[in-house]
Amino acid sequence: MMTNVEIMNLVHQFEACTLPRSQWDHAAHLTVALWYLICFPDAEAVLRICQGIQRYNKSQGIGTTPTGGYHETLTLFWIAIVRQFLAESNPELSLAARAHELILKYGERKNLFRESCSLELIRSPATCQNWAPPDLN
pTM more than 0.75: yes
Q: How many whole angstroms separate alpha carbon 46 and alpha carbon 37?
A: 8
Give Cβ neighbours of residue 123 (< 8 Å, ≥ 6 apart): 66, 67
pLDDT for 137 beyond 80: no
pLDDT at 66: 65
Give CA separation, 130 vs 71, 72, 74, 136, in Å.
Answer: 8, 6, 10, 18
| Interval 20-72: pLDDT, tens | 999 999 999 999 999 999 999 999 999 999 999 999 999 999 988 767 899 99
Task: Render the burial of 20-34: b for 16+ CB within 10 Å, e for the rest.
Answer: eeeebeebbbbbbbb
Locate the domains of the chain by residue range.
Answer: 4-129
